[in-house]
Structure 1
């Protein structure tokens, strides 16, 4: 299983907003148990969908300005960006099948 790429305030614009394919951002923190629980699911999705989707993680405690900009109030928060725009977000961990369905629905409406 691959390690998720980390982004921060120095590369968020380039990696997420400037990406040529959709990017799912996992806003997380070290102290958050559900954040740790969802990592294996996100790693599987990153591997299975690597040709169509990037999955990255952003530590909210270490990058408060980005978390504030996108009004992240609870963790984990997942946000899907496409062509530099936020197109979908959800708070809380979910089972893989449900998360994939929600992602696919969001991507279909964004095209």
Structure 2
């Protein structure tokens, strides 16, 4: 999985020809960290058809960027396609089945 930064976001997400999954997480978010192995497993399974990335919201200077992308709480998993956010799962909605269903919708 590619670790996104502010500098990589436009190139790797907005300009991507493939749909992009972003796992928005934070260093102090225990739920985020617990979900990572599941997301990484999905990346191994579907990574040839969907670009898997993660964005650490604990990076310095990203607060406004996260607000701009409507990331108000964690964990959040989003799908971007053709430069636009087209789907989102939030903490209450993220399960193995819901994540796999979301991935299959965009591959």
TM range (shorter): 0.7 to 0.9
CA 1:50 to 1:102, structure 2 compared with 1: closer, same or farther past 3 Å?
A: closer
Is 1:55 aligned to 2:52, yes or no? Answer: yes
- Output aligned runs, 1:22-37, within 5 Å: 22-37=19-34
**Following TM superposition, where does structure 1 have runs of at least 4 consecutive aligned residues deviating by more than 6 angstroms?**
none
- Structure with the bigger percentage of helix: 2
The count of corresponding residues between Structure 1 and Structure 2 is 104
State the partner residue of 2:88.
Answer: 89
* Residues in 1 aligned to 2:73 and 2:7: alpha-carbon distance in whole angstroms: 23
Structure 2: 5+ residue runs without aligned partners?
A: none
Instruction: Note the C-alpha offset of 1:32.
Output: 0.2
Task: Normalising by structure 1, report the TM-score.
Answer: 0.85
TM-score of the aligned structures, taking structure 2 as reference length: 0.88
For residues 94 and 76 of structure 2, the distance between their equivalents in structure 1, rounded to whole angstroms, comes to 11
Q: Which runs of 5+ in 1 are unaligned?
A: none
How far apart are 1:97 and its partner, in Å?
A: 2.2
- CA RMSD across the alignment: 1.6
Matched, 1:104 2:104: yes
Aligned pair partner of 1:17 in 14, 28, 50: 14
